[in-house]
Amino acid sequence: MAYEAQISRSSPTAFLFVVDQSASMSDKMSSGKTKAEFVADALNRTLMNLVTRCTKSEGVRDYFEVGVLGYGGSGVSNGLSGALGAQVLHPISAFEQNPSRIEDRKRKMDDGAGGIVETAVKFPIWFDPVASGGTPMRAALTRAAEELVAWCDAHPESYPPTILHVTDGESTDGDPEELAGHLRQIRTNDGEVLLFNLHASTLGNEPIRFPSAESGLPDSFAKLLFRMSSPLPDHLIRFAQGEGVSVGMEARGFTFNAEAAEIVQFFDIGTRAAQLR
């Protein structure tokens, strides 16, 4: 069976975030933040959680290699900077060592007596919001494929890489469906690359989480993203169900009309790979 390889320091897996940075990502969500700002916050929180999941008594274990690609008005580029800006994929310990900065944020927390208090927390930043130009999705998926072909060649026995792609609109450089199919055919001996797609929205329409068929989707763009998406492996279906998400056994890694809560949930479910050793 595929997607069962144990993840260890000698046999890591990879997560590649591919983020739409086109001009429309400057649209405001219901929270008052732009789509670009909220996606950046959710991604930075996810990176922090990945570091935490790999932290043991002796330090951060390199179970994961992680990268971020952004695409928009300036084409496709590494979404990270500084020490993480030279190559796309990095061991997770490099993220712990190299945030671009640490911000002071406020978090509302339970005070233990039925009330809510605001507490200052340190929030590491690796990825900043950008919103300009068009949506060169084909170019972004091509770059992702180049990175992951090389990664799979170097890690043939590993749990396959996962791509978490966030977009808010249609491709401006051609139809991406065929490229997505090629991307999903890249593989290790444990299975094919997983491509999960999220459509971010500010319209307030009902979100569609992890559908099993395209027949009930609202338009051709939603159906395209559904076809581009990988089926969820069994362990991710079980994890999503355990989180209270209604997920069928034929579900795809796809969320449409996502607002803030769905973006956080998408990143959390998408980064739950097989067992860490």
- Terminal Cα distance for the chain, rounded: 19
CATH number of the domain enclosing 235: 3.40.50.410
Number of domains in the chain: 1
For residue 246, tell me if it sits in a domain. yes
Residue 31 has what pLDDT? Answer: 82
Closest CA to 266 of 7, 18, 3: 18
Q: Write down how long the chain is.
A: 277
| pLDDT in single tens digits along all 277 residues of the chain | 689 999 999 999 999 999 999 999 999 988 889 999 999 999 999 999 999 999 999 999 999 999 999 999 999 999 999 999 999 999 999 999 999 999 988 777 666 777 777 788 889 999 999 999 999 999 999 999 999 999 999 999 999 999 999 999 999 999 999 999 999 999 999 999 999 999 998 887 889 999 999 998 989 999 999 999 999 999 999 999 999 999 999 999 999 999 888 999 999 999 998 666 6
For residue 174, tell me if it sits in a domain. yes
Count the neighbouring beta carbons within 10 Å of the beta carbon of residue 260: 17
Report how far residue 135's alpha carbon sits from residue 71's, in angstroms, rounded to the nearest whole number.
7
For residue 108, tell me if it sits in a domain. no
Residue 109 has what pLDDT? Answer: 66
CA angle 148, 152, 153 (to 5 degrees): 115
Residue 82 region, left (φ>0) first, then alpha (ψ -120 to 50), else beta? left
For residue 236, tell me if it sits in a domain. yes
Which tokens in the block code for residue 78? 């590494």
For residue 116, tell me if it sits in a domain. no
* DSSP annotation string for 219-268: SHHHHHHHHHSPBPPHHHHHHHHHTT----TT-BSEEEEE-HHHHHHHHH
Q: Which domain holds residue 219?
A: 13-100+126-270
Distances from the Cα of 119 to the Cαs of 33, 60, 107, 108, 114, in angstroms? 21, 26, 5, 6, 16
Report how far residue 254's alpha carbon sits from residue 229's, in angstroms, rounded to the nearest whole number.
6
